[in-house]
Amino acid sequence: MTEGATTGTAAGLSAHGLVRRFGGATAVDGVDLTVPPGRITALVGPNGAGKSTLFDCLGGATRADGGRVRLDGRDITRLPDHARARLGLARTFQQPAVFPGLTVGENVRVGAEQRAPGTVRGLLGLPAAGRGAARTATTRALRLLGLEGVRDRPAADLPTGALRLLELARALAADPRVLLLDEPTAGLDTEQTDHLAAVLRALAAEGLAVLLVEHDAELVAELADTAYVLAAGKVLLSGPARTVLADERVAGLWGAR
């Protein structure tokens, strides 16, 4: 079978026996994880557990030393991040990554122009192609995240909370199938957090597969369907989010995050 060929019909994103080493240290140690469409999945654990490294392996920023990553059944383990993005995988980062010299609208337009030509994923009701498709995607993503009023402001002028929303708007403008969010509520106020939660619920209801790293236990319990607990690079336990968070083993880890 050729590299990148479809090996199954499972939808969403999955990791199978994923391993990532740095010298003699194993940051991700045989992780199995599934992020199904239409669901919000959370990844929790203490600092140094390997969460960000796992995100990098899933998103393609770093290559795993072992195991497989599949998107909608297709093996994408050896594909770089930009190729994964073209297949419908989008992510945000622990530190917001935007283009400070561009306006808010121009930043989101960058995401809109990453959409694969001729694709219709349906989450934002976007046209497949043609003149104005990127403009439409930009406008709808800005509206969804409440950023229309700052569309023409330089990104460099935005506070941290607005930068996080901008980064998410850019990711959504690409109309992804799978969305990876690394600490999406860091820097957000209560109103922004509530709005973000509502947006994620709505997108999941439309079929988006969401995986988020989040330290707010109450938010995870309220928002996520499933939670995976990572400790020392391994999955300690997984299951329904409320059940997992109530486990005494997780309570001990949470205070050490």
- 121-158: per-residue pLDDT in tens? 555 555 555 557 888 889 999 999 999 999 999 999 99
**The predicted structure's pLDDT at residue 236:** 94
| pLDDT level of residue 66 (50, 70, 90 thresholds) | very high
User: What CATH number is associated with residue 219?
Assistant: 3.40.50.300
Q: Are 108 and 155 in contact (CB under 8 A)?
A: no
Give the domain-ending residue among 176, 199, 227. 176
Q: What is the DSSP letter of 63?
A: -
SS3 state at 137: helix
pTM: 0.88
Q: Residue 6: is its pLDDT beyond 50?
A: no
Residue 20 falls within a domain, yes or no?
A: yes
Element of type H or E holding 58: helix 51-59
| Amino acid, res. 231 | A
| Amino acid, res. 116 | A
- Output the DSSP codes for the chain: --TT-B-----SEEEEEEEEEETTEEEEEEEEEEE-TT-EEEEE--TTSSHHHHHHHHHTSS--SEEEEEETTEE-TT--HHHHHHTTEEE--SS----TTSBHHHHHHHHHTTSPTT----SS---SSSTTHHHHHHHHHHHHTT-GGGTTSBGGGS-HHHHHHHHHHHHHHT--SEEEEESTTTT--HHHHHHHHHHHHHHHHTT-EEEEE---HHHHHHH-SEEEEEETTEEEEEEEHHHHHHSHHHHHHHTT-
Give the domain-ending residue among 121, 142, 176. 176
Residue 174 φ/ψ, nearest 5 degrees:
-80, -5
158 & 198 share domain: no
Residue 217 falls within a domain, yes or no?
A: yes
Give the domain-ending residue among 176, 191, 206. 176
121 & 182 share domain: no
Residue 98 falls within a domain, yes or no?
A: no
201 & 76 share domain: yes
Residue 226 falls within a domain, yes or no?
A: yes
**The predicted structure's pLDDT at residue 128:** 55
**The predicted structure's pLDDT at residue 130:** 54
Average pLDDT value for residue range 215-233:
93
Residue 239 falls within a domain, yes or no?
A: yes
Q: Which domain holds residue 165?
A: 103-176
Please state which of the ranges 10-14, 83-87, 139-143 shows the lowest mean pLDDT: 10-14
Reading across the β-sheet that carries 178-182, which strands appear in turn?
89-91, 178-182, 209-213, 40-44, 226-231, 234-240
Structural domain count of the chain: 2
